Amino acid sequence: MNRLFRPLIVLMVLAILPSQTLLADSTQRAVDSSSKLSERPLTATQCRPLRPLSELLERLPRPEDKEALRAAKARLEPMFRAEKSDTRHSYDVLHYEINMNIDIPGDSVRSAAVFIDCRSETDTLSVVDLNFLGMTIDSITVDGAAVSYDRQGDQLLVDLGATVSQGDSFQVAVYYHGRPQTPGGGLYISSNVTYTLCEPEGARNWFPCYDKPSDKATADISITVPDGYIVASNGLLVGVAKDDEAKTATYSWSETYPIATYLISLAISEYATFSYWYEGVGDTMEIACYAPPEDSANAAVDFSNLPEMIACYDGLFGTYPFIEEKYGMATISFGGGAMEHQTCTSWGFSITGNNTYDWVVAHELAHQWWGDWVSPDNWKEIWLNEGFATYSEALWMEYLYGGPGLRAYMSEMQDYYVRWETASGRSFPIYDPPSGYLFSPTEYDKAGSVLHMLRFVVGDSTFFDILRTYGANHAYGNAVTDDFKSVCEDLSGRDLDWFFQQWIYEPGFPRFSFAWNYEAEARAGYLVNISLVQQQNGPVFEMPVEIGITTGSGLVLDTVLVDEEAEQIQLTVQEQPLGVQLDPNEWLLCQKEEVQVTEPILVMDRYTIDDLDGDGWLNPGETADLIITLENQGTTACGITGILRTGDEQVTIVDSTANFEEIRFFQSGDNALTPFIFSVSSQASPHWAYFTLLVFAAGDYQETITFRLPVGVPTVLLVDDDGGGDEEAFYTGLLDSLNVLYDMVDMDKSGFLGRDLQAFEAVIWFTGLETANTLTPADQDSLAAFLDAGGNLLAAGSGLGNDIGASDFYGDYLHAVWSGETSSMLLQGVTGDPISDGQLMVILDQEGQQDHLSADGEAGTAACFNYIGDGAAAIRHEGAYKTLYFGYSLEYTRSDNPSAMTPHKLMSAILHWFGAVTPVESGDDPAVFLPRHFALDQNYPNPFNASTRISFHLDRAGPVELTIFNVAGQRVRTLAGGEYPAGRHLLLWDGRDDRGLQAASGIYFCRIRAGDRRSMVKMLLLR
Ligand SMILES: [Zn+2]
């Protein structure tokens, strides 16, 4: 296990080197130092000056051309009928002999005879299952004797007439004719150009075969065409036979290297031909080109780099795999694509005469190694073809333009993928792409970028050893991802499970935001503080990351291992830092953005109440220490002090001052040594007490932070049992607005933690949209005991009936009978019901998952809400205990219609009905308890990415203006303007300005004005 070392904080002195910097020798290295980009061509055979980078920059692939390269193949994928299975079949195809007379003017196959040499892989083989679709079969023989057969869809089942033993060979001959069909590829006949295009599984449309890439065979291909046409195909041309009487020519090709069925090809036209010659070691190989006569001069330019390209890849991957035969390029017309047919690429891009599509020429040539020499075992492994060919494009550019060329090409590839995934919203693992995405940027550009990162992790020399060894191990055969991974691990000597897991088997990429500053250290240079955050939804990525610090003498480079959502990195340099770059050499597939921070941003991270009985709740009469943890999201703040205030009449502050000392950039600090002390009146009722913390620091820094603390002991327990959803926000918002003190447990994270239900007057238990694992038997027992002791329960969830509708608890305590689900969304309260009293509610955004209920008939049980015209939606029971059960998720009820009952009024009525819960008052005013003063809370979350919540409290009604400003003082967004009632109000800022455009990363100020009072908080937006 030679895992990367990872100090939480990397503190090291770096050597400063000009331009391309190396790493200091004395430092332990996570990354092979040979991974620096080469400045020279990689192959030793070439020694010539690099071409100018500006030439490459003008020629980087255009997005529309990248799209075209994939689209030609992707068009065939919707017809992709095969399961992506890797199961073995019962026989092995050894050789295909395809004889076909094509009637080009007649748009049909005049006659065809295909001989398939097979070997049995079992002792009981009696039927051979081939793939063949369309055209008319005239007869089938096995070893010359006619046999019966059955066609089922694209299956062709040939009865062998006897049982063939394992290892025994036999030959199936299929004679057929007709007009080929081309759903999912096949043979396209036209007078201009006739060609085949079959990836992934369209070969069955033009010849019978076992149409899986795992069964490779050799092939002889003899095609008869009208005079004047030339047939290009796989392998070597062994003869052209003219028939003067029939005015035809028969081209006979022989492919003696194993070939997968999707790579067997024809390209037929009235071609002009020309050749290049590749001078290999001790051998000369033809590069045979076929192009329309009018394009052949330009084609000769476009394909002219092939000899040098083959030399380049020979050096990197191993000798060209089909060196005894040829390489070829045959133009066909399929509108922008190209296809890596073995030894004879089909070319559908336009001919330009100026090497515009050199990258595609390189891509298809590289496939001769990656796809043709080593073929995927099955289509889940498509990245072993396309990722490798796409990365090979970059290797060709590195050969031509050196390290800067590689960086430029990879940067474009990474950016292209990041843009595609961001715009399309399609994020899925490279391995086993979903249907319709076999030929997507994930398999091309992301997989290519992953190989580049692998090179970074294992180093140049190991990386190219890996490619050559992987190729040699699976030469002329097949491979799966694990084969490649095991070569990587063997040759690097490292466990690379983490790398393959996150990059191949899981989706996405890291989206980094970072900020930095520095401090001059006494006699020790400059300490650079870097805060790095991974902003993506989904798992945190683990990668070595290069960090470059620009100084007057050049770039200082170091590599750190990043593996946490938020990292603090410290580096020391000898000269004043001028800038920090993340991954300056473009190794990583990631999004990266620098956020400018210019001053301290102190926000409250959390509080701790240290009280007498140690329960963290402020009982009446108690005195407690209050420790506040501040987080600094900006530059270092020194000499921080705090003053605590409150307007709450039931709270007395005994010690109002505290010292937080110094909090550095993106660090936390607290006042544990100088806690605030306050006491609670012995007459205190349960409520939220509001506090203001004034924070001062050196340099005239001043900040006001408002927060609230619960006073008294909560009477309501909120049980978050939504299976990891975020339904709790609905309930906490309602309870907050009703000023009800509550305690909350998250069943998905912590369970009950031994909480005693009996300590609460009411339990609110919500299961959201969960339809399984809602209330466990243990949960039901706890609730039954709570209710037996006279408790009050509100239970809500659209899956409870489905999950526990048959349980004793459901009948005995919820008093409901479940009869399936309904899609009714309109709710009518029962007239005279103490909670619903005939009022209307509506369910939105949830379709057809509501539970259909009826009351069990026991005394004290009644429907509380009915679906309009469709039975009960909520059941209420009042006896020795009270239960109220909603067969739908309350959080999907909306209050958009002013004549309908709001969730707020509903919750108020429920708590009032429970009665024991104090102190809740009924009434239309949502603010049951008015805040005792005016306050603006710190936004949450902060820093934020997509959106942040801003809440404020008004102790009296009046005009409010709430505005977002940037650091330049410009107004960005007006969130509120108008009359607001007293109470707590919650606003959401989506990070957009008044025109709806996304605001840039950085510091923003949220300012509120209410009459003559004002307050402001600072927020940090990280994109
Ligand atoms: Zn490709």
Q: How far is the CA of 280 from the centre of ligand 1 (A)?
A: 25
Cα separation values, 111 from 195, 227, 249, 271, Å: 17, 17, 15, 24
Q: What confidence tier does 1005 reach under pLDDT thresholds 50, 70, 90?
A: confident
d(CA 981, CA 962): 15
Burial zone of 571 (CB within 10 Å; 0-12 exposed, 13-18 middle, 19+ buried):
buried
Q: How far is the CA of 357 from the centre of ligand 1 (A)?
A: 14
d(CA 829, CA 86): 58
With b for 16 or more beta-carbon neighbours within 10 A and e for fewer, the 922-942 pattern comes to eeeebbbbbbbbbbbbbbeeb
Which of 18-22, 44-48, 270-274, 760-764 has maximum average pLDDT? Answer: 270-274
Q: What confidence tier does 916 reach under pLDDT thresholds 50, 70, 90?
A: low
pLDDT higher for 316 or 684? 316
Q: Are 764 and 717 in contact (CB under 8 A)?
A: yes
Q: How far is the CA of 844 from the centre of ligand 1 (A)?
A: 46
Q: How far is the CA of 251 from the centre of ligand 1 (A)?
A: 28
Q: How far is the CA of 400 from the centre of ligand 1 (A)?
A: 21
Q: Are 374 and 475 in contact (CB under 8 A)?
A: yes
Average pLDDT over residues 119-139: 95
Q: How far is the CA of 219 from the centre of ligand 1 (A)?
A: 22
Q: How far is the CA of 285 from the centre of ligand 1 (A)?
A: 23
Q: How far is the CA of 337 from the centre of ligand 1 (A)?
A: 9
Q: What confidence tier does 85 reach under pLDDT thresholds 50, 70, 90?
A: very low
Per-residue pLDDT, 98: 98
SS3 296: helix
Per-residue pLDDT, 654: 95
pLDDT of 371 higher than 50: yes
Per-residue pLDDT, 105: 96
Average pLDDT over residues 791-798: 92
Nearest to 678 by CA among 702, 705, 703, 658: 658
Three-state SS string over 156-212 comes to: EEEEEEEEECCCCEEEEEEEEEECCCCCCCEEECCCCEEEEECCCCCHHHCCCECCC
Q: What is the pLDDT of residues 494-536, one digit of tens each?
A: 999 999 999 999 999 999 988 888 888 877 899 998 888 888 8
DSSP 35: G
Q: How far is the CA of 347 from the centre of ligand 1 (A)?
A: 12
Nearest to 374 by CA among 481, 458, 450, 285: 481
Tokens linked to 737: 């607005």
Q: How far is the CA of 118 from the centre of ligand 1 (A)?
A: 30
135: region left, alpha or beta (phi > 0 left; psi from -120 to 50 alpha) = left
Q: How far is the CA of 76 from the centre of ligand 1 (A)?
A: 14
Q: How far is the CA of 70 from the centre of ligand 1 (A)?
A: 7
Q: How far is the CA of 136 from the centre of ligand 1 (A)?
A: 33
Per-residue pLDDT, 32: 37
Q: How far is the CA of 360 from the centre of ligand 1 (A)?
A: 9
Q: How far is the CA of 366 from the centre of ligand 1 (A)?
A: 9
Q: How far is the CA of 471 from the centre of ligand 1 (A)?
A: 17
Average pLDDT over residues 439-459: 97
The secondary structure element, H or E, covering residue 339 is: strand 338-339
Per-residue pLDDT, 847: 60
pLDDT of 82 higher than 80: no
Tokens linked to 449: 């970028």
Q: How far is the CA of 182 from the centre of ligand 1 (A)?
A: 21
Q: How far is the CA of 655 from the centre of ligand 1 (A)?
A: 72
Q: How far is the CA of 340 from the centre of ligand 1 (A)?
A: 7
Q: How far is the CA of 87 from the centre of ligand 1 (A)?
A: 25
Question: What is the sign, positive or negative, of the torsion defined by CA atoms of 16, 22, 27, 29?
Answer: positive
Q: What is the pLDDT of residues 94-125, one digit of tens each?
A: 999 999 999 999 999 999 999 999 999 999 99
d(CA 738, CA 464): 66
Per-residue pLDDT, 845: 62
Q: How far is the CA of 199 from the centre of ligand 1 (A)?
A: 10
Three-state SS string over 952-975 comes to: EEECCCEEEEEEEEECCCCEEEEE
Q: How far is the CA of 339 from the centre of ligand 1 (A)?
A: 7
Q: What percent of the chain has pLDDT over 90?
A: 56
Per-residue pLDDT, 753: 63
Average pLDDT over residues 856-869: 90
d(CA 251, CA 256): 16
Q: How far is the CA of 509 from the centre of ligand 1 (A)?
A: 22
Q: How far is the CA of 32 from the centre of ligand 1 (A)?
A: 30
- E strands, 614-656, are 623-632, 637-646, 651-655
Tokens 């796809």, residue?
371
Q: How far is the CA of 383 from the centre of ligand 1 (A)?
A: 9
* Strand partners for 744: 718
Q: How far is the CA of 404 from the centre of ligand 1 (A)?
A: 24
Cα separation values, 107 from 101, 180, 268, 347, Å: 11, 9, 13, 22
Q: Are 134 and 181 in contact (CB under 8 A)?
A: yes
Q: How far is the CA of 994 from the centre of ligand 1 (A)?
A: 45
Q: What is the pLDDT of residues 585-596, one digit of tens each?
A: 999 999 998 887
Q: How far is the CA of 721 from the centre of ligand 1 (A)?
A: 48
Q: How many CB atoms lie within 10 A of CB 759?
A: 11
Tokens linked to 82: 């095969």
Q: How far is the CA of 386 from the centre of ligand 1 (A)?
A: 5
Nearest to 677 by CA among 603, 732, 604, 625: 625
Q: How far is the CA of 616 from the centre of ligand 1 (A)?
A: 63
Q: What is the pLDDT of residues 806-843, one digit of tens each?
A: 999 999 999 999 988 888 888 889 999 999 888 888 88
Q: How far is the CA of 348 from the centre of ligand 1 (A)?
A: 13
Q: How far is the CA of 654 from the centre of ligand 1 (A)?
A: 74
Q: What is the pLDDT of residues 737-788, one digit of tens each?
A: 777 888 888 887 777 666 788 888 899 999 988 887 888 888 899 899 999 9
d(CA 873, CA 828): 9
Q: How far is the CA of 384 from the centre of ligand 1 (A)?
A: 10
Q: How far is the CA of 385 from the centre of ligand 1 (A)?
A: 7
Q: How far is the CA of 563 from the centre of ligand 1 (A)?
A: 33
pLDDT of 881 higher than 90: yes
How many residues belong to the chain? 1023
- Lowest mean per-residue pLDDT among 450-459, 577-586, 927-936, 943-952: 927-936
Which residues 6+ apart lie within 8 Å of 998 measured at CB? Answer: 991, 992, 1023
SS3 64: helix
Q: How far is the CA of 430 from the centre of ligand 1 (A)?
A: 15
Q: How far is the CA of 363 from the centre of ligand 1 (A)?
A: 6
Q: What percent of the chain has pLDDT over 70?
A: 91
Q: How far is the CA of 879 from the centre of ligand 1 (A)?
A: 72
Q: How far is the CA of 444 from the centre of ligand 1 (A)?
A: 8
With b for 16 or more beta-carbon neighbours within 10 A and e for fewer, the 318-340 pattern comes to bbbbbbebbbbbbbbbbebbbbb
Average pLDDT over residues 621-649: 90
Q: Are 740 and 913 in contact (CB under 8 A)?
A: no
Per-residue pLDDT, 88: 61
pLDDT higher for 888 or 269? 269
Q: How far is the CA of 349 from the centre of ligand 1 (A)?
A: 13
Q: How far is the CA of 429 from the centre of ligand 1 (A)?
A: 18
d(CA 409, CA 105): 45
Q: How far is the CA of 91 from the centre of ligand 1 (A)?
A: 29
Q: How far is the CA of 68 from the centre of ligand 1 (A)?
A: 11
The separation between the first and the last C-alpha atoms of the chain, rounded to the nearest angstrom, is 36
Nearest to 1002 by CA among 959, 956, 967: 967
Q: Are 517 and 665 in contact (CB under 8 A)?
A: yes
Q: How far is the CA of 273 from the centre of ligand 1 (A)?
A: 24
Tokens linked to 70: 């994939």
DSSP per-residue string spanning 393-440: HHHHHHHHHHHHHHHHHHHHHHHHHHHHHHHH-----SSSPPTT-TTS
Three-state SS string over 757-790 comes to: HHHCCEEEEECCCCCCCCCCHHHHHHHHHHHHCC
Kindly give the interhelix angle for 383-424 and 358-367, rounded to the nearest 10 degrees.
130
d(CA 536, CA 502): 13
Q: How far is the CA of 27 from the centre of ligand 1 (A)?
A: 41
Q: Are 267 and 290 in contact (CB under 8 A)?
A: yes
Q: Are 590 and 535 in contact (CB under 8 A)?
A: no
d(CA 693, CA 704): 6
d(CA 531, CA 519): 14
Cα separation values, 430 from 373, 446, 640, Å: 21, 8, 50
Average pLDDT over residues 271-281: 92
Cα radius of gyration (the chain): 36
Q: What is the pLDDT of residues 7-41, one digit of tens each?
A: 323 222 232 323 333 333 333 333 333 334 433 34
Does the pTM of the predicted model rise above 0.85? no
Q: How many CB atoms lie within 10 A of CB 808?
A: 11
Q: How far is the CA of 10 from the centre of ligand 1 (A)?
A: 41
pLDDT of 442 higher than 50: yes
Phi, psi of 389 (to 5 degrees): -65, -40
Question: What is the sign, positive or negative, of the torsion defined by CA atoms of 413, 418, 423, 427?
Answer: positive
Q: How far is the CA of 78 from the centre of ligand 1 (A)?
A: 18
Q: How far is the CA of 794 from the centre of ligand 1 (A)?
A: 59
Q: How far is the CA of 691 from the centre of ligand 1 (A)?
A: 64
Averaged pLDDT score across all residues of the chain: 87
Q: How far is the CA of 442 from the centre of ligand 1 (A)?
A: 13
